[in-house]
Amino acid sequence: MRLFSGLSAFPLTPTDAAGHLQADVLGRFLERIQAAGADSIGLLGSTGGYAYLSREARQRAVRVAVECGGGKIPIIVGVGALRTDEAETLARDAKAAGADGLLLAPMSYTPLTDEEVFQHFSAVAEAGGLPLCIYNNPSTTKFTFGDDLIARLAKLPNVAAVKMPLPANGDFSGEMKRLRAITPDGFAIGYSGDWGAADALLAGCDAWYSVVAGLLPASALALTRAAQAGDGSKAARINDAFQPLWDLFRVFGSFRVMYVMADLLGLARIEPPRPILPLPQEARSRVEEALQTLKGTGSFIP
């Protein structure tokens, strides 16, 4: 299977209040993902809180992941940073530690132009020397990749994939047809936004970059495999079981919900990095209810 395909599971990056990595907890998350049979680990993505971590914490997280994976599961590492030279350094760090691929979002304070993003990606892709996925995540970066920019970036050496947000009109097939017409053969098109994953996979996308798979990898994999096999009824049944959780992801943000889930699943009692605050008790109760609903359907696989 190609690197940017199938189910890519994105774990939290557990840290203490000072931002130091809790390596044992990260290892616990990664072991579950590997044991479930996910196709790759998406380390230091948005779910992994990469923007809140020091270079040292990120280096250590990659080392832990590589040691834990033992070459049995590909590791895609997020290397986004505000400055191009910092992102280049992070890309070199990831390669040196044994990562298999890179994920890059155009972080910014000053809004970026298309040319600035192109030059940024060109420099980081060259520095990393690994297959790189374009991270199109306008909800956090406030930058949207247009078709022309994606087509231009896809011609760069090492740029091999794009991670897209869910299309506003829900037309996955149309969007993928359009993108495949302007990108090289083998360029992988995947989606994030867990609540749209079933539709994206059934429409033939290459990858689901999954938040929930960071904690419930086996359940997410069941959804992935059903959709990849074209079993729409099974995929819909599993997706319906997840629906209360998807609703909470949309209301509170999946990042916050995942920290509550880690606690409720008995995996770790950790808090998000400040200034992000833990969810209040009322919200925690709703997350617990959503997990109980998932368990009650038979689609929950611990």
Give every CB contact of residue 32 below 8 A, 6+ residues apart in sequence. 215, 217, 267
What is the pLDDT, as a whole number, of residue 1? 58
CA distance 14 to 146: 34
In order of 108, 110, 119, 167, the CA distances from 152 in angstroms are 20, 22, 11, 20
293 is in an annotated binding site: no
Q: Mind listing the pLDDT tens digit for each residue in 116-172? A: 999 999 999 999 999 999 999 999 999 999 999 999 999 999 999 999 999 999 999
Q: Is the pLDDT of residue 301 over 80?
A: no
What are 12-29's pLDDT values in tens digits?
999 999 999 999 999 999
Domains of the chain with CATH codes: 6-229 (3.20.20.70)
Q: Mean pLDDT across the chain, nearest whole number? A: 97
- Residue 234 designated active-site: no
Task: Given the residues 50, 95, 135, 259, select the one marked as catalytic.
Answer: 135
Catalytic residue among 52, 142, 155, 163: 163
80, two tokens? 């986004």
Residue 137 has a pLDDT of 96
Task: Report pLDDT digits (tens) over 199-247.
Answer: 999 999 999 999 999 999 999 999 999 999 999 999 999 999 999 999 9
Annotated catalytic, 295? no
